[in-house]
């Protein structure tokens, strides 16, 4: 048997990270977790280190249990940017939430590594820098986000230049059937109750506002090198059709499966091979019965429109939007603002943002910091 692929799992304590470790543990030695990086949940990270015995570990503030587990397993503390470029790492899975994924992604691509990219904020903030790092270092991106994994698979074997339209499916999130009046009164607990997927808190709220889908339109532009005009969104309640590609001749291809992230995670790690065994329960279409499709409503869910406009504007606008969204979602989760304040705050921040075209990394980070400051200062309940 071949030596295992050595995987750095950045964000190993999160929803994607934990599922990735499950995929790795079940891979019968095809994959090994050689680096683990978490955030504040150092107790879980310590357990993961004891189980997977990685070479590298990282947490912003390690606890005693993590220090002990690392020493016992011979793991060395190293920052994610160093791990991402280490010669004894074959693939970097970026499953850190938010802006923290940016520097390791750039480091891995500049070092010529494949990056299994779950973190969409990285592409939203700085897709142009990501593509530049790929060109400089020769690294490549393997989409983990379910829709983009679907599109990736639909494109395998197709002739470049034949894509007419990328069609992203959206579940519609927790509040897809609510009126504006009802949306004004929803709680964080209700927002976190996603109808089809089990995910981290931030992305689950983004799904409820349709910001997740908006960010995915920008993610698709950078991953598949298409303009926003070639990206479309269709509502699909069941999350079984993960996305579609329409080709020049009118033919449409889709990828289907049960809503379970272990499949796209596994595929990004095994590429270009498919694993011999399924990572997830098999799809039973007869049991599913009916699949539904519809148009998204940007009146009730303006974040989709805001994100698509930001994607068209480019420069620092998507970075400012993503940063404002991160702050607004955090404020909503801590009950400081209402659900409908999320798009209002983002819109208010974007009105005040002074865009920079083709920004440097420093300019992206400055736009991010300024948008966070502005978003924290917008009071609740202010009309856009």
Ligand X SMILES: CC(=O)[C@@H](O)[C@H](O)COP(=O)(O)O
Ligand Y SMILES: NC(=O)C1=CN([C@@H]2O[C@H](COP(=O)(O)OP(=O)(O)OC[C@H]3O[C@@H](n4cnc5c(N)ncnc54)[C@H](OP(=O)(O)O)[C@@H]3O)[C@@H](O)[C@H]2O)C=CC1
123 phi-psi bin (left φ>0, alpha ψ -120 to 50, beta other)? alpha
Instruction: Output the smallest distance, CB 270 to ligand Y, in A.
Output: 18
Question: Is the bond preceding 240 in cis, omega lying within 30 degrees of 0?
Answer: no
Closer to Mn ion at the Cβ: 188 or 200?
A: 200
Kind of pairing between the strands at 76-77 and 56-58: parallel
Q: Is 246 in the site for Mn ion (CB under 5 A)?
A: no
> Do 174 and 190 meet the contact criterion of CB atoms below 8 Å apart?
yes
Contact window for ligand Y (CB under 6 A) among 65-73, 89-97, 296-304, 351-359: 89-97
334 appears as a binding residue in the annotation: no
Which tokens belong to 206? Answer: 């983004």
145 appears as a binding residue in the annotation: yes
The C-alpha atoms of residue 143 and residue 146 are separated, in whole angstroms, by 8
Backbone angles phi, psi at 336, to 5 degrees: -80, -30
Instruction: Output the smallest distance, CB 97 to ligand X, in A.
Output: 12
DSSP codes, 299-322: TT-THHHHHHHHHHH-TTHHHHHH
Closer to ligand X at the Cβ: 6 or 213?
A: 213
Closer to Mn ion at the Cβ: 147 or 370?
A: 147
User: Which of 93, 111, 114, 121 is in the footprint of ligand Y by CB under 6 A?
Assistant: 121
> Do 99 and 248 meet the contact criterion of CB atoms below 8 Å apart?
no
Q: What is Dmax (Cα atoms) for the chain?
A: 62
Q: Is 96 in the site for ligand Y (CB under 6 A)?
A: yes
Contact window for Mn ion (CB under 5 A) among 139-147, 248-256, 306-314, 357-365: 139-147
Instruction: Output the smallest distance, CB 99 to ligand Y, in A.
Output: 8
Kind of pairing between the strands at 241-247 and 163-170: antiparallel
DSSP label of 294? B
Q: Is 145 in the site for ligand Y (CB under 6 A)?
A: yes
Contact window for ligand Y (CB under 6 A) among 38-46, 186-194, 280-288, 351-359: 38-46
From the list ligand X, Mn ion, ligand Y, none, which binds 62 (C-beta under 5 to 8 Å, kind-based)? none
List the binding residues.
13-16, 39, 41, 119-121, 145-147, 171, 194, 200, 207, 212-213, 216
Question: Which chain residues interact with ligand Y by CB under 6 A?
Answer: 11-17, 38-41, 60, 95-98, 100, 118-121, 145, 197, 199-200, 202-203, 261
């Amino acid at each position: 048997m071949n030596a295992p692929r050595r995987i750095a799992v950045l964000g190993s304590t999160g929803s994607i990270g934990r599922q990735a470790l499950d995929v790795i543990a079940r891979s019968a030695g095809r994959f090994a977790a050689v680096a683990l990086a978490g955030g504040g949940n150092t107790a879980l990270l310590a357990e993961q280190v004891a189980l997977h015995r990685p070479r590298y570990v990282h947490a912003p503030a390690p606890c005693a249990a993590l220090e002990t587990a690392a020493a016992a397993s011979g793991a060395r503390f190293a920052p994610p940017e160093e791990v991402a470029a280490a010669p004894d790492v074959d693939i970097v899975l970026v499953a850190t939430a938010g802006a923290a994924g940016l520097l390791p992604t750039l480091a891995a691509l500049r070092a010529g590594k494949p990056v299994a990219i779950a973190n969409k904020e990285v592409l939203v903030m700085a897709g142009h820098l990501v593509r530049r790092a790929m060109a400089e270092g020769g690294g490549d991106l393997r989409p983990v986000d379910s829709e983009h994994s679907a599109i990736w698979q639909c494109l395998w074997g197709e002739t470049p230049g034949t894509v007419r339209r990328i069609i992203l499916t959206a579940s519609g999130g927790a509040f897809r059937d609510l009126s504006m009046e009802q949306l004004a009164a929803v709680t964080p607990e209700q927002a976190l109750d996603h109808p089809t997927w089990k995910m981290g808190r931030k992305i689950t709220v983004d799904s409820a506002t349709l910001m997740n889908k908006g960010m995915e339109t920008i993610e698709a532009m950078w991953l598949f090198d298409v303009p926003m005009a070639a990206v479309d969104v269709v509502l699909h309640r069941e999350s079984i059709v993960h996305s579609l590609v329409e080709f020049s001749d009118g033919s449409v291809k889709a990828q289907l499966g049960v809503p379970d992230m272990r499949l796209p995670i596994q595929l990004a790690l095994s590429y270009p091979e498919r694993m011999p065994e399924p990572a997830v329960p098999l799809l039973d279409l007869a049991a599913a019965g009916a699949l539904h499709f519809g148009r998204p409503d940007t009146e009730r869910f303006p974040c989709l429109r805001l994100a698509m406009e930001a994607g068209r504007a480019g420069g620092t606008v998507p970075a400012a939007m993503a940063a404002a969204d991160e702050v607004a979602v955090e404020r909503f989760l801590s009950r400081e603002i209402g659900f409908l304040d999320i798009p209002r705050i983002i819109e208010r921040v974007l009105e005040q943002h002074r865009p920079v075209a083709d920004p440097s990394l420093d300019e992206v980070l400055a736009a991010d910091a300024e948008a966070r400051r502005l978003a924290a200062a917008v009071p609740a309940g202010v009309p856009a």
